[in-house]
Amino acid sequence: MNPYLAGTLLGLVLLLAMVVSGRGLGASGGVKYCVVSIVGAVSPQHVESSEYYSKYFENSKKPLTNWLVLEIFGVVAGGFISGAVSGRLKLKVEKSPKITVSRRLIFAFLGGVFFVYGGQLARGCTSGAALSGMAVLSVAGFVTMITIFGSAYMFAWVFRKNWI
């Protein structure tokens, strides 16, 4: 789809989220709730002893039945529908022909670790902090957007062999 048209669609979804729920879109928050839920299932003692985890289970709350978690389940469904409509469903590793599959996967893994860690610290990633934040004129949104993109440009030279 034309990028300006796709951007308009994304903006309308964000606006709908604001009208329905009073908050924007998010991705990394849902990942955190999934992790908290897994830790709670694997080691209930660890959850009870941790001040950070225990607040997610107060009043017998279930972290998996949460707005942010259902939202990322929806992202999986919506991405799949779009991929099916446009004929892009295919199991594959996407990478530059100049690098090996294992190199691509190692960097993909590290990227995920860094991105979600930083997203938790900044209280939102590209969607929850930068995009949704800018749409409500929050300074935090603009600062996060500038630092994410600024930092990626700074490191682009270091990791150029992975991409070009």
Partner 1 sequence: MAPLSSLYVFPEWLNMLMAFLIGTGFGFALEQAGFSSSRKLAGMFYGYDATVLKVFFTAAIVALIGSQFLGFFGVLNLNQVYVNEFYVTASVVGGFIMGAGFIMGGFCPGTGICAMSIGKIDAMVFVAGGFVGAFLFTETYSLIEGLATAQYRGPVKINEVLGLSPGVFTMILVVAAVGMFWLAELAEKRFARPDITNDL
Question: Residues 19 to 38: which contact partner 1 by CB under 8 A?
Answer: 19-25, 27-28, 31-32, 34-36, 38
DSSP letter (8 states) at residue 129? I
Question: Is residue 153 at the binding interface for partner 1, with CB under 8 A as the rule?
Answer: yes
Question: Is residue 162 at the binding interface for partner 1, with CB under 8 A as the rule?
Answer: yes
Residue 118 buriedness (CB in 10 A; 0-12 / 13-18 / 19+): middle
- Residue among 48, 83, 100, 161 that touches partner 1 (CB under 8 A): 83
Residues binding partner 1: what is the number (CB under 8 A)? Answer: 122
Q: Is 40 helix (H, G, I), strand (E, B) or coil?
A: helix
Question: Is residue 109 at the binding interface for partner 1, with CB under 8 A as the rule?
Answer: yes
Query: Residue 149 Cβ, how far from partner 1 at the closest point, in Å?
Result: 7
- Residue among 41, 100, 151, 161 that touches partner 1 (CB under 8 A): 151
Residues 99, 82: Cα–Cα separation, whole Å: 29
CB atoms within 10 A of CB 28: 22
Question: Is residue 96 at the binding interface for partner 1, with CB under 8 A as the rule?
Answer: yes
Question: Is residue 99 at the binding interface for partner 1, with CB under 8 A as the rule?
Answer: no
Query: Residue 33 Cβ, how far from partner 1 at the closest point, in Å?
Result: 9
Nearest Cα neighbor of 46 from 62, 59, 35 is 35
What is the amino acid identity at position 81?
I
Question: Is residue 105 at the binding interface for partner 1, with CB under 8 A as the rule?
Answer: yes
Cβ proximity of 130 and 148 under 8 Å: yes
- Residue among 43, 49, 54, 82 that touches partner 1 (CB under 8 A): 82
